């Protein structure tokens, strides 16, 4: 256990670096990446659901049928969850870009009116 807690100077430097590195361009770039992944996972989810709908379970054993249904539900559910996670991340990053842009505009107008 040689890890020491950060000193106040290190913590404030990290916060300052993080705040200055956030820009609307970086947010929109992240949103584009996340949106692309969301679209890819959505396409995968749609393909999986269509494949499962077109291929019925070939068994007469009720236990096997129940297990197959549960597995299919879990697979479609997990891919749907991934789709929504990436979609929500995309919306959040776009909203953050808008918020940062508005804050920058307010700071510019406040600094020009003070001068």
In a domain, 10, yes or no: no
Q: What is the pTM of this model?
A: 0.73
In a domain, 61, yes or no: yes
Full domain range(s) for residue 92: 25-114
Per-residue pLDDT of the chain (115 residues; tens, 9 = 90+): 577 666 666 555 555 555 568 899 999 999 999 999 999 999 999 999 999 999 999 999 999 999 999 999 999 999 999 999 999 999 999 999 999 999 999 988 887 776 6
- pLDDT of 37 reads 97
Q: How far apart are CA 39 and CA 47, in angstroms?
A: 12
- Our count of domains for the chain comes to 1
Q: How far apart are CA 93 and CA 32, in angstroms?
A: 9
Q: Residue 27 half-sphere exposure, CB side, CA atoms within 13 Å?
A: 19
- pLDDT of 31 reads 97
Q: For residues 110 and 44, is the Cβ–Cβ distance under 8 A?
A: no
Long-range contacts of 68-72 (CB under 8 A, 24+ apart): none
Task: Tell how many helices (H) and how many strands (E) occur in the chain.
Answer: 3, 0
Q: How far apart are CA 64 and CA 60, in angstroms?
A: 8
**Residues 6 or more apart whose Cβ sits within 8 Å of residue 69:** 57
In a domain, 56, yes or no: yes
Q: How far apart are CA 66 and CA 52, in angstroms?
A: 14
In a domain, 18, yes or no: no
In a domain, 54, yes or no: yes
In a domain, 43, yes or no: yes
């Amino acid at each position: 256990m040689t890890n020491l807690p950060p000193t106040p100077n290190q913590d404030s430097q990290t916060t300052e670096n993080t705040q200055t590195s956030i820009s609307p361009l970086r947010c929109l770039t992240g949103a584009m990446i996340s949106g692309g992944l969301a679209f890819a996972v959505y396409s995968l989810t749609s393909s999986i659901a269509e494949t499962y709908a077109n291929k019925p379970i070939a068994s007469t054993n009720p236990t096997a049928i129940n297990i197959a249904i549960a597995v299919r539900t879990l697979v479609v559910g997990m891919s749907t969850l991934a789709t929504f996670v990436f979609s929500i991340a995309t919306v959040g990053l776009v909203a953050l870009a808008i918020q940062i842009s508005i804050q920058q505009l307010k700071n510019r107008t406040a600094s020009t009116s003070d001068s």
